[in-house]
Amino acid sequence: MLSSSTNNSGDDTFQRSMKAFYCFPAKQAVYLDWSVQATVSWILSETLGSRNVAIIAEEDVQTLSKADSAGLLEAVVQTVNDCLAEAPRFGLKAPGTSLGSSEVLEAISRCNSTGGPNGRFWALDPVDGTLGFVRGDQYAVALAMIEDGEVVLGVLGCPNYPMRKEWLSYHHRYHRIISKLTPPTSESWDKGCVIYTRRGSGEAWMQPLIQGHKKLVWPNSATPVKVSTIENPALATFCEPVEKANSSHSFTAGLAHSVGLRKQPLRVYSMVKYAAIARGDAEVFMKFARAGYKEKLWDHAAGVIIIQEAGGVVTDAGGRPLDFSKGIYLEGLDRGIIACAGAKLHEKIIRAVDASWNSSSL
């Protein structure tokens, strides 16, 4: 495990950023994004010093700063303070007194980095998969550290990720019914994890959020995760986004058929798709955006490094590494994104894309 084998300051930064993910209670989606962003920003700034922290993130303070948003801001402030009150349980410092509105707004507004090829910045998606959160389905909190255009740390908090992959396809209401029929000692329905890694480690780790239906207090044992060893497309499971707005299901369906992927696609909200591949629950993730849509850096950075260090491959459809040095967007992306559990499977997908692309309408 990382914490027992490394001790330098960079690893301390990694551990602290990862532990911050345990402080988030479930709140209403309307203000959750701001609340998570403020909490992560405050913890990183307190840990590393605000002058040393640059964050590129999805939310700004414009809406919260309006006179008619006083109630919304109050809810965000309360949620942030609720989160930070739990910080000492996870080895993190809590504020001496509750944060006020101005301090919460300052923490959110500090997330104003524009990224780029030089220096260090953090990429944060406070709630990736808002619709999944609203529906009680899959969503993630994603944080990555990028240095000189290269992702070096990645953390994915997946509060609803079940410990058995077959339950990914079931709605949370079905979960409640089955859990009542399941013996209390069963771990079938244990869900919630943090998956994290560091560039060059050659491993990714998974830390459970609950076990035996009880919340775990940090620290607890983490286990390494590895990608699947399946190379035969006929045995592979592929993931794709649930929503059709920014992804072509018809193209991926045709592509899956042409390459020999026969299993029903696993449609999952958010970067949980990356976690599923890293953990060996699926083998392929394909996303081909519709014309005019540009992929954002924070939607992929943490997931990409986690799959890579777990033994998988992530590139654009041309086989090139994703470029995180161009600011908010993944500029220069060749057609789409392909993540696979192994190089052989990845090469088969790349060849199939080349063979099918000219006949598509994307």
Residues marked as catalytic: 33, 130
329: amino acid identity, one letter? Y
Which residues, 6 or more positions from 350, have their beta carbon under 8 angstroms from its beta carbon? 315, 317, 318, 319, 338
Total residue length of the chain: 362
Is residue 41 within 8 Å of 108, Cβ to Cβ?
Answer: yes
C-alpha to C-alpha distance for 193 and 207, rounded to whole angstroms: 5
Please state, as a whole number, how many other Cβ atoms lie within 10 Å of the Cβ of residue 125.
30
Please state, as a whole number, how many other Cβ atoms lie within 10 Å of the Cβ of residue 176.
11
64 DSSP 8-state letter: T
Q: What is the 3-state secondary structure (H, E, C) of 118-133?
A: CCEEEEEEEEECHHHH
C-alpha to C-alpha distance for 230 and 344, rounded to whole angstroms: 10
Is residue 161 within 8 Å of 192, Cβ to Cβ?
Answer: yes
Q: What is the dihedral of CA 72, 73, 77, 78, to 10 degrees?
A: -30
Q: Classify 229 as helix, strand or coil.
A: coil
Q: Would you tell me the crossing angle of helices 70-85 and 29-48 to the nearest 10 degrees?
A: 50
Tokens for 120, please give them. Answer: 């260090």
Q: Classify 239 as helix, strand or coil.
A: strand
For residue 196, list its beta bridge partners: 155, 205
